[in-house]
Structure 1
Amino acid sequence: MTELTSKFEDMTGSLALPATGKVQKNEVFGKQKPAMPRILISVHEELAPLKAVWQALERRGDCTVFQSYTWLSAWQRHIGTKQGVKPAIVVGWDSEGDALFIFPLGIERGTVCRKLSWLGGDLCDYHGPLLSSQFSHYVSAAQFPALWADIRETLPSHHIVALSRMPERIGGQANPFMTLGGMRAHASSAHMTMLKEDWTSYYEEKRSSGSKKRDRQKRRKIEELGAVSLVTPETDAEKLRTLDVLMAQKSATFARMGIANLFDRPGYREFYRDLAVDPEADGLIHVSHLAVGDTIAAANWGVSFGGRYSYVLASYDEGAEAARFGPGMIQLMELMSHATGTGHTVFDFTIGDEGYKEQWFEVEIRLYDYIEPNMLIGWAGLGPRIAYLQIKRFIKQTPVLWRVFTRLRAARGVLSGACVVRA
């Protein structure tokens, strides 16, 4: 053990921790000097007993919506359990029993090895810890690698660590995981734009005269088909109807592009439906659609958290007459106006390097992956994993290769669809 570690018994008498369900192991971290604060580490197999502590840290500390209790508990309930992921949530406590950080980790049991990764999987555009505002007073950047090494020893047995999609900053703080060696750039970045106090000022500054002219022309054309408005359903039934339309529209797009349908994966459809109507997610999830007359031309499932509106899931009806006039872009501008009017200061386009984002974003968020083997089996699986990530990033960052790849993928989707029809 490193010098950051002392014995658990030193602190048990002075900490009054909440009842937190199953606790696998506990350690105390802190230099062997009276002046240096010590940290009690606990590892938990269940989310529910940590709810109050977790949500208090969300309010007072730094994290993204993808680390919120509401998001991750829904993911674990609908998806994590089906994927064989067992939570291994690390909580760091100060001497007063307050949470300094939460690392929402889990261990997935694969065919060959057990992988330690962030809870939330591919439904989290950003991964990372929840950090108290006091975190850096307890753990410096230089100390974090040693702390992480000790946490690794405290965690249940695993063969490989695979922590992906980590930003360089968590709110106003540096992400401590960036101090670990061997970070690799993720295949894609995320993008966001800073909103102004009113939509008109933002729009006038952001769009060129030519772009504004085209926006007006398309708006007039689509209005000839019916009144255009952004509708936010109020009842659960209306929200679910909009979401079902979104999933149907998005599924058609996936098929055209040759992409596996997200909603066919076990638990994914239930995840989105649950959060759309969960009272715990009230104010967090924004379900809406672009109405053109009596039809839903486009639909949206967005997220509001900490003054940031995240553009997470959107669709449009590719087969409708309105599709010729860019209902997806009209919906996007309506959503940005909505976000401005509801007090958001940031519009987050989230992960992905889609071309339309170039028209709007000023801030690129680079993301990083960390992969580390823990045992011989982990070393055996490390090479293929790294090779896959490097090839994926190279293809995505090379425009010619990415265009060829997307065309081949789309062609495969068309051929697959044709086979299904003939069958």
Structure 2
Amino acid sequence: MGSGTAALQHPSVDATGIGAKVTQVAADISVLMTNRIEDVEASWRLLEASGVESPGQSYDFIALWVKNRRLPSCDQTYIVGSVDGEPVALLPLRRRRTRGVRLLSWFPGSNVGCYAPIANLERLEQLGPVGRKALWARMTARLTGADLIYLRWLPGRVGGRTGLFDELGVALPVETLYRAEFASWAECERVQRSKSRRKHDRQQGDRLDALGQVTFEVSRNGDDARDTIDTMFRQRSARFKAMGIRDIFVRDGLTEFYHAAVAANSGIAVQLQVLRLGGQIVAVRYNVVHGTRMFCLISSMSDDETVQAGSPGKQCLLRVMQSVFEQGYTMFDMGAGLTDEKRHWCNVQIPLQHHYVPLSAWGRTVLAAHRVIQKSRRQIKGHKKLITALRAPGQWLHRHAGQKSK
């Protein structure tokens, strides 16, 4: 019975996943599926203990998200795959319907830099390609009531290992994740800050200092951070409007979650890094901490043209990097997508992929169409002139609206 080929017949789990049921689908692989996050807490915390690649893999982060967003149990699905009775991988999935497609996907959407199954990486590697394919197949085989499992932004490398998720559905390269990993601030400064870079930073700092007193502070869970977070979202909204893109935080009603996460008893370790000019907030970074790793979820800066002359965002980040690595953190995750600040500070790049598992004929059709869209989007991102042209109408509207309101 140790070969994993002898399937045992048991009643299947119902389409909604209501209640926890264990189904032995092979001699050595078992699957638990439930719609109650509490049912998988013990397995989740066990798997999470070895480290995470994203806040989206944190039990406390997802538990708070589910509670704060008031998600009904029928929209929640949690699947634990065990080998020889030992939990090896867990998929937390949200049911949603988008443009006529019934999806199973990650809970927080685009709010964290990457996602991945919560897994015992060593055991997953030991399974090999055949064993992993069998594990993923058994974990997804019982899922019903959906057309497609859509797993966005899985890292191609986790814990120094590559290819652990290659057998999970169909993969499509889409983006790159950027991180700064250093043993100390001295190493970070030596590697990432050339003589010209330091001179440029000093010049920008002098311009900011000329505008008033500059201070940098770090606040944590339990501190009074409501005004800081509200200011951060106002700054983000202004930035989104200027760029002519959708403000997901306001339109999707997500701001209260970030307030709840910084509460003393949230279970999520949050750090807010704040740059002030003359006592006024001009730049903010909102981070989640796991062990010696820090993940930046949101950043903002003032859109005041006078203040921007001193590059408050870059000056804030300079102080952030110094603070992070002087405190003993070993990694600062800056999310997906290349920007100037990531080019200046990040020495680690990790390829990201979308993974798709079709569950119906309609799901296979949607998969084919979505892959075409994603490939086109990736090509557009590499074409700066085209991006500028596509954003121009929204930026013109923002400027025109501002002129009319004066």
What TM-score does the superposition give when structure 1 sets the normalisation length? 0.84
Matched with 2:282 is: 297
Shift of 1:5: 5.4
| 1:7-60 alpha-carbon deviations (Å, 9 max, x no partner) | 277xxxxxxxxxxx9535432254x5xxxxx23210110213433432232113
Shift of 1:416: 5.9
Deviates more, 1:406-415 or 1:126-135: 406-415
Matched with 1:388 is: 373
Matched with 1:288 is: 273
- Pick one of 200, 211, 214 that aligns with 2:200: 214
Shift of 1:86: 1.4
Q: Quick one: distance in 2 between partners of 1:120 and 1:245?
A: 22
SS in 2 for 1:176: coil
SS in 1 for 2:166: helix
CA change 1:194–1:130 in 2 (3 A) is same
Shift of 1:373: 2.7
Q: Quick one: distance in 2 between partners of 1:65 and 1:235?
A: 16
- Pick one of 26, 31, 34 that aligns with 1:41: 31
* Paired residues for 1:5-404 under 5 Å: 6-7=7-8, 22-30=18-26, 32=27, 38-60=28-50, 63-79=53-69, 81=71, 86-95=75-84, 98-110=86-98, 112-136=100-124, 139-180=127-168, 182-186=170-174, 188-197=175-184, 199-233=185-219, 236=222, 238-281=224-267, 284-319=269-304, 321-404=306-389
| 1:250-277 alpha-carbon deviations (Å, 9 max, x no partner) | 1111111111112223331111111122
Shift of 1:118: 2.2
CA change 1:174–1:89 in 2 (3 A) is farther
Shift of 1:138: 6.3
CA change 1:234–1:278 in 2 (3 A) is closer
CA change 1:359–1:108 in 2 (3 A) is same
CA change 1:89–1:356 in 2 (3 A) is same
Q: Quick one: distance in 2 between partners of 1:111 and 1:24?
A: 30
SS in 2 for 1:338: helix
What is the one-letter code of the residue matched to 2:55? Answer: V
Identity of aligned residues (%): 23
Shift of 1:412: 4.2
Shift of 1:201: 4.4
SS in 1 for 2:309: helix
Q: Quick one: distance in 2 between partners of 1:365 and 1:205?
A: 19
User: 1:64–1:170: 8 Å Cα contact kept in structure 2?
Assistant: no
What is the one-letter code of the residue matched to 1:272? Answer: Y
Q: Quick one: distance in 1 between partners of 2:131 and 2:121?
A: 17
CA RMSD of aligned residues (A): 2.8
What is the one-letter code of the residue matched to 1:76? Answer: V
Which consecutive residues of structure 1, in runs of 5 or more, have no partner in the other structure?
10-20, 33-37
CA change 1:202–1:127 in 2 (3 A) is closer
CA change 1:214–1:173 in 2 (3 A) is closer
CA change 1:410–1:149 in 2 (3 A) is same
| 1:300-328 alpha-carbon deviations (Å, 9 max, x no partner) | 11122232222221111111632211110
| 1:238-295 alpha-carbon deviations (Å, 9 max, x no partner) | 211111111111111111111111222333111111112252335x211131022211
What is the one-letter code of the residue matched to 1:158? Answer: A
Q: Quick one: distance in 2 between partners of 1:203 and 1:325?
A: 21
CA change 1:203–1:136 in 2 (3 A) is same
Q: Quick one: distance in 2 between partners of 1:179 and 1:383?
A: 18
Q: Quick one: distance in 1 between partners of 2:51 and 2:293?
A: 15
SS in 2 for 1:179: coil
User: 1:63–1:129: 8 Å Cα contact kept in structure 2?
Assistant: no
Q: Quick one: distance in 2 between partners of 1:190 and 1:265?
A: 26
Deviates more, 1:266-275 or 1:138-147: 138-147
What TM-score does the superposition give when structure 2 sets the normalisation length? 0.88
Q: Quick one: distance in 1 between partners of 2:118 and 2:273?
A: 29
SS in 2 for 1:315: strand
SS in 1 for 2:130: coil
| 1:375-420 alpha-carbon deviations (Å, 9 max, x no partner) | 222234334322321221110122332232233442344456668x
What is the one-letter code of the residue matched to 2:143? Answer: L
What is the one-letter code of the residue matched to 1:26? Answer: V
User: 1:80–1:120: 8 Å Cα contact kept in structure 2?
Assistant: no
Which consecutive residues of structure 2, in runs of 5 or more, have no partner in the other structure?
11-16
Q: Quick one: distance in 2 between partners of 1:261 and 1:183?
A: 28
| 1:104-163 alpha-carbon deviations (Å, 9 max, x no partner) | 122223453311222221113211111125523763222222332222221233112211
Matched with 1:12 is: none
